[in-house]
Structure 1
Amino acid sequence: MRLPDFEAWAIFAKVSERGSFVRAAEELQLSKPTISKAINRLEQSLGIALFNRNSRQMSVTETGRMLLGHANRILAEAEAAESEARGGTHRPSGLIRVAAPMAFGIRHLSPALPAFLEKYPDIDITVDFSDSLVDLVAEGYDLALRIASLADSSLRARHLCGVRLLLVATPEYLDRIGRPTHPRDLEGQKSFVYTNTSAPGTLRLTSIETDEDYVLSQASRFRADNAEAFLPALKAHLGFGLFPEFMVWDGLQDGRFEQILPDWDAASIALYLVTSSSTLRPFRVNALMEHLVSTFEHPPWAKTGT
């Protein structure tokens, strides 16, 4: 029985991560011919092409993408095993790939990273900001931040903190239309509709006092798949919308925004730290995970009430 070519699989994962043979060779401290030979050896063994290559660019083939998840697991578990064997005496280094929602990532993840990078000067981080769900394993991410209800049971999800969804407008807008006491008072009023949901323009609200449910059908003034896009129109008093608390908490504190119907709740969501199902991770990944847990255990938008 011939053993799998673990070195070639790990090199395949690293070339895919770095996007070139040269950058992979530099990180692995191997020569470019060694990298090229390992990829050619693996392609010959599998009978398929893993990369589309020409003199100007390189990309992973469709079949290569299907196999990349396996390669990433081989590399990650080998790195984790070495880290555990060293007992933490080895200074952590290497690249961590992170996926994060765009608005939250730019507002709150990015400010949390400088302290980590200063503490671990040999660790590099790549963050892809997107509101689309990514396949962590197949696309080679070490971890992701997600704000949602999670359905993929093949992933490990760690609850970091709750995220309230708040109906918000400016005081000037509410002075003009009146301050509603029931969701039906908002029917027909122009609003901002977030389209990246299963039912855009439909808001289910529940009375805190009576448990009454009311489904509000929004009249759209502005539709978008990222709520950050609504903020200039919100500040211009052009409508109301449902926003995650982390996006509007400072405006609520200083009076620029006002919560509508504070006695009615929209379904709350949560911030999760998501990883693959494997418990073996490189030390650098575990270090970033603990840093994020510490950062968002008491998030800034929850330090004072609204």
Structure 2
Amino acid sequence: MDRLQSMAVFVRVAELGSFSGAARQLGLSKSAVSKHVTALEERLGVRLINRTTRRLALTEAGAAYRDYCARIVQEVEEAELMAMQHSAAPRGRLKLNAPVTFGFLHLGPLLPEFLTRYPGVEIELVLNDRFIDLLEEGFDLAVRIGQLADSSLIARRLATTRSICAASPAYLARAGIPREPADLARHNCLRYSLRRERDTWSFRRGAEHVAVKIGGNLEVNNGDALRSAALEGLGIVCLPDFIIGEDLERGLLQPLLPDWQTPESPIHAVFPPQRHASGKLRAFVDFLVEKLGRKDGWSGGCRRAGREAS
């Protein structure tokens, strides 16, 4: 067997902790993956992986060998890509993940321009609001909003967003306008169920920080659905400017609590280290930085609301 291919297969098994997972990502059968690892063990004369019916675990020798193999495989990939980039434009398939509303409103509309610029690239875009494991599910890149957890993924900052409290004029005419964060406790607040603290909204005014317990009769795991409910006059939302910016600009929603700000959230592109050398991935990340990094807010309405709140 080709030793370099066997090393690449072993690295993927070690990353995923699974022969079947590595087989799916590499387009091989599970038995072929097992044969590659066995061939390495026979060549080295040591066991690299302890196998049980429940789990795989690297041996001490396997862990050390994995680190060397990962560097070698990555350097070979980088050398090949560097040589290819001198004579060829980015090409190949990119599998991307993004939150539903952000992907629909801001990522999807950019793809035709990118694909026109790089006709050799194919894109599969998967939109969902759950946290996905890039390696396990075979994604090249994900767009993530909010503070990132520590991980082995490489992150590149694209833009920032800030949530804005808002409601329709009809709701405010009926229920009154909250003047302070504490007033929200008396209002019907529409909650995003995937937030870490979905029953608490936090605000800052200078050095003053306030966390308010809120409640309401609607909780949804999608921001655009909450936006629709707010437009119908059901209650108050606290949603990112990239979702409700146009509504604020058109006066369909009215920004609230102008003296208070919510925490700013970064928007990152994240990708596994072994994808970093990919010309198609670098081209796409650079494109996102070009298109999203120069935004001064997400609409005129967002910029006005942000200035009023500062």
1:287 lines up with 2:278 in the alignment: no
**1:146 aligned partner:** 144
SS in 1 for 2:150: coil
1:156 lines up with 2:147 in the alignment: no
> Matched residues in 1 for 2:142 and 2:275: separation?
15
> Matched residues in 2 for 1:171 and 1:161: separation?
30
With normalisation by structure 2, the TM-score equals 0.76
**1:31 aligned partner:** none
SS in 2 for 1:261: coil
Contact 1:187 1:217 in 2 (8 A): yes
Distance 1:215 1:5, change over 3 A: closer
Contact 1:83 1:90 in 2 (8 A): no
**1:225 aligned partner:** 221
**2:192 aligned partner:** 194
Contact 1:166 1:242 in 2 (8 A): yes
Distance 1:79 1:46, change over 3 A: closer
> Matched residues in 2 for 1:293 and 1:276: separation?
18
One-letter amino acid of the structure 2 residue matched with residue 266 of structure 1: T
**1:126 aligned partner:** 124
Q: CA RMSD in A?
A: 3.3
> Matched residues in 2 for 1:73 and 1:225: separation?
40
SS in 1 for 2:294: coil
Gaps of 5+ in 2: 13-19, 39-53, 59-65, 305-310
Contact 2:146 2:265 in 1 (8 A): yes
SS in 1 for 2:261: strand
Distance 1:87 1:233, change over 3 A: closer
Map residues 65-144 of structure 1 onto 2, 5 A cutoff: 78-144=76-142
How far apart are 1:226 and its partner, in Å? 1.6
How far apart are 1:213 and its partner, in Å? 2.4
1:16 lines up with 2:7 in the alignment: no
> Matched residues in 2 for 1:5 and 1:154: separation?
23
Q: How many residues align?
A: 270
**1:181 aligned partner:** 179
Gaps of 5+ in 1: 19-23, 25-34, 48-61
SS in 2 for 1:141: coil
Contact 1:170 1:257 in 2 (8 A): yes
1:3 lines up with 2:3 in the alignment: yes
- Per-residue CA deviation, residues 121-150 of structure 1 (Å, 9 max, x unaligned), is 221111221222222233322111100101
One-letter amino acid of the structure 1 residue matched with residue 202 of structure 2: R
> Matched residues in 2 for 1:179 and 1:195: separation?
24
Identify the match of residue 246 of structure 2 among 250, 260, 263: 250
> Matched residues in 1 for 2:228 and 2:71: separation?
43
- Per-residue CA deviation, residues 130-178 of structure 1 (Å, 9 max, x unaligned), is 2222222333221111001012242221111110110010112112222
> Matched residues in 2 for 1:100 and 1:77: separation?
29
- Per-residue CA deviation, residues 45-83 of structure 1 (Å, 9 max, x unaligned), is 447xxxxxxxxxxxxxx979x9xx999999876544312
How far apart are 1:15 and its partner, in Å? 6.8
How far apart are 1:184 and its partner, in Å? 1.7
Task: Give percent identity, aligned residues only.
Answer: 28
> Matched residues in 1 for 2:109 and 2:35: separation?
46
One-letter amino acid of the structure 2 residue matched with residue 168 of structure 1: A
Contact 2:8 2:70 in 1 (8 A): no
Richer in helix (by share)? 2
**1:42 aligned partner:** 33
Contact 1:81 1:280 in 2 (8 A): no
Identify the match of residue 233 of structure 2 among 217, 234, 237: 237
How far apart are 1:114 and its partner, in Å? 0.5
